[in-house]
Amino acid sequence: MLTSLSIKNYALIEDINIDLQSGFTIITGETGAGKSIMLGALGLLLGDRADFSSIRDSEKKCVIEGNFSISNYKLENFFKKEDLDYEPNSIIRREILPSGKSRAFINDTPVRITALQNLGTYLIDIHSQHETLSLGNSDYQFEVIDTIAKNESLIIEYKSELKEFRALLKRFDELKEEQSQAAKEYDYNLFLLNELEEAQLQAGMQDELEERYEELNNVEELTENLGSAINYLQQEEIGSLESLKSVRSHLSRIAQFSSNYESFYERIQSAIIELDDLEAEMTSALERVEANPEELETVNQKLQLIYNLQKKHNAENVEELLKIMNDLREKVSVTENAETALNEVQLAIKEQEARLSKTADKLYENRKKIIPAFIEQTEQILKDLGMPNARLNIELEQGEEFLSNGRDRLEWYLAANKGGSFKEMKKAASGGELSRIMLAVKSILAAQSNLPTIIFDEIDTGVSGEIAQKMGEILQKMGNNMQVIAITHLPQIAGKGASHFRIFKEDNEETTRTRIIRLDEKARIEELALMLGGNTKSDSAMAHAKSLLN
């Protein structure tokens, strides 16, 4: 439950701090005093979008902080999943900086807004005046029935299965399209593939062929220059090797005189060994050089084939041609194995559809099972709220199409008066009747859920007198099991609260600000008298106010 709320520099609020209790709490105040501002601040704590224009003083930051007692609501797993420190008394803080940037914290740990939104669903249900109209909305009607039927985990399972089912259907359509396109191009792709495969391409072969072509195409130049080079190394009088050997002979005679001379000798010895090896390899290479017109022609043909294929496929090298060949092989394979691939996906669709149908059937049965008791409870509460002849009918039909939350069609119908015919909820009920029906629904949901706090923003719209008294009793009863906060204009409801706050605007010479104070018994009587007497505290209004509190 919400144990305290602090709001600083937000709209007309300069700085307010209120401590809240369990049970039924009342908030009253004149229209425009700032009740909606307080709800807006709470909305920010629950992850609503921040608006820089709502800052009172644009040079200071806006801070909204709520303390929540959550020890009884089994939220440890949520905190663990969000990687947050769990505290039985947790603090949520929202800040809007003068720069316009918004920040959020849970127990002083920075979090994303989605974390606030997810946590908020476990903490507070804020019922706005606009929400009453959602009674005629199919999504809201499903939400009520599924909450009572405890379908939450089943709906999560269904949505996951539906996502997989739709992905398979999409894959099937894509595969059909791919195969249709591939079939049109099959003959041409097969021709290109065969052409590439016949070329017997291998990575690196182009470099090898080009090198071999240069050797075969320049036999005379190779023979002449290799021979001359070997001759210069081998000649007895002027050959490089012979000259180096003479140098070595001279150095050998002085090598023992110092390490420096010995180093000269060793280095010349290494050079002779290296030149000996080089001469041997060059001689071997010369022996292998021979004219071979047939091989030259073969190498040239292979290279021309590669060059033609590169030009045809706009490829820079053999490696790119190999990749193109693999792509063509896959396209051809798709066409040749089309039936098998389609059958595999169709089988997967059939199996997923069976799983999805089973889950949808469970949802249908769970919903169908709780509807009679829900109708009976709702009608009984409506009798207490001055609608003794109201009858509720809920039609649930299972179709064939897989929808976002099952295969069911759901519609609520109301016959508000005796002998009246059933009509769709949104067409059958007046504003006051909708308020009473919504309160009946909320009270049933409150008994089913483990939600700590519910806030009603003028749930009493369109009602008065004895009906308001009954509404107050229901809200008071709800407060026995959870924290209920009601913003109201009706003294009959206000008198039922265990605690009472008054919101009002205060003017000074420069600004207007919103304030909120807790009322003691005397102040409550005066507030109720004003609500009863239209801003006048007559003796009769004061007496009536005392009776409402008693």
Residue 74 has pLDDT above 80, yes or no: yes
In this predicted structure, what is the pLDDT of residue 235? 66
- Strand partners for 396: 410
In this predicted structure, what is the pLDDT of residue 99? 86
Q: Which residue has the higher pLDDT, 79 or 419?
A: 79
Map tokens 């005397």 to a residue: 522
Q: How far apart are CA 519 and CA 502, in angstroms?
A: 7
What is the four-CA torsion angle of 118, 120, 126, 130, rounded to 10 degrees? -20
Q: How far apart are CA 88 and CA 74, in angstroms?
A: 10
- Strand partners for 67: 4, 91
Q: Looking at residues 287-315, what average pLDDT do you find?
A: 80
Work out the burial of residue 177: count CB atoms within 10 Å of its CB; fewer than 13 is exposed, 13-18 middle, 19 or more buried.
exposed
Residue 387 has pLDDT above 70, yes or no: yes
Q: How far apart are CA 430 and CA 461, in angstroms?
A: 11
The architecture of the domain spanning 1-127+450-519 is 3-Layer(aba) Sandwich (3.40)
In this predicted structure, what is the pLDDT of residue 62? 92
Q: Looking at residues 407-420, what average pLDDT do you find?
A: 90
- How far from 369 is each of 164, 256, 441, CA to CA, in Å? 28, 111, 17
* Strands of 275-405, DSSP E: 391-403
Compute how many other C-beta atoms are within 10 angstroms of the C-beta atom of residue 246: 10
| Residue at 152: amino acid letter | E
Q: Looking at residues 394-400, what average pLDDT do you find?
A: 94
In this predicted structure, what is the pLDDT of residue 232? 67
CB 123 within 8 A of CB 70: yes
Q: pLDDT of 41-70, one tens digit each?
A: 999 999 988 888 888 888 899 999 999 999
Q: Which residue has the higher pLDDT, 267 or 162?
A: 162
In this predicted structure, what is the pLDDT of residue 178? 77
Residue 513: what are its φ and ψ, rounded to 5°? -135, 155
Q: Which residue has the higher pLDDT, 186 or 79?
A: 79
In this predicted structure, what is the pLDDT of residue 31? 78
Map tokens 């600004």 to a residue: 511
Strand 102-106 relative to strand 89-96, pairing = antiparallel
In this predicted structure, what is the pLDDT of residue 406? 94
Q: Which residue has the higher pLDDT, 536 or 443?
A: 443
Report the mean per-residue pLDDT for the chain.
Answer: 86
CA atoms within 13 A on the CB side of 166: 10
Compute how many other C-beta atoms are within 10 angstroms of the C-beta atom of residue 430: 10
Strand 13-19 relative to strand 89-96, pairing = unpaired
In this predicted structure, what is the pLDDT of residue 247? 65
Q: Which residue has the higher pLDDT, 535 or 278?
A: 278
Q: pLDDT of 352-383, one tens digit each?
A: 999 999 999 999 999 999 999 999 999 999 99
Tell which residue, 357, 355, 364, has the closest CA to residue 408.
364
Q: Which pTM was predicted?
A: 0.68
Residue 403 has pLDDT above 80, yes or no: yes
Sequence ranges of the domains in the chain: 1-127+450-519, 176-331
Strand 89-96 relative to strand 512-518, pairing = unpaired
- Residue 540 contacts by C-beta under 8 Å, 6 or more apart in sequence? 533
* 43-47, 121-125, 135-139, 245-249: least confidently modelled range: 245-249
Work out the burial of residue 360: count CB atoms within 10 Å of its CB; fewer than 13 is exposed, 13-18 middle, 19 or more buried.
buried
- Strand partners for 66: 5, 92
In this predicted structure, what is the pLDDT of residue 548? 87
Q: How much of the chain, in percent, has pLDDT values that exceed 90?
A: 41
* Strands of 319-450, DSSP E: 391-403, 406-415, 423-424
Q: Looking at residues 256-280, what average pLDDT do you find?
A: 80
In this predicted structure, what is the pLDDT of residue 63? 94
Work out the burial of residue 392: count CB atoms within 10 Å of its CB; fewer than 13 is exposed, 13-18 middle, 19 or more buried.
buried
Compute how many other C-beta atoms are within 10 angstroms of the C-beta atom of residue 148: 22
Q: Looking at residues 430-437, what average pLDDT do you find?
A: 85
Work out the burial of residue 85: count CB atoms within 10 Å of its CB; fewer than 13 is exposed, 13-18 middle, 19 or more buried.
exposed
Q: pLDDT of 133-161, one tens digit each?
A: 788 889 999 999 999 999 999 999 999 99
In this predicted structure, what is the pLDDT of residue 191? 86
In this predicted structure, what is the pLDDT of residue 336? 67
Angle at 507 between CA 506 and CA 509, to 5 degrees: 155
What is the four-CA torsion angle of 95, 101, 102, 104, rounded to 10 degrees? -80
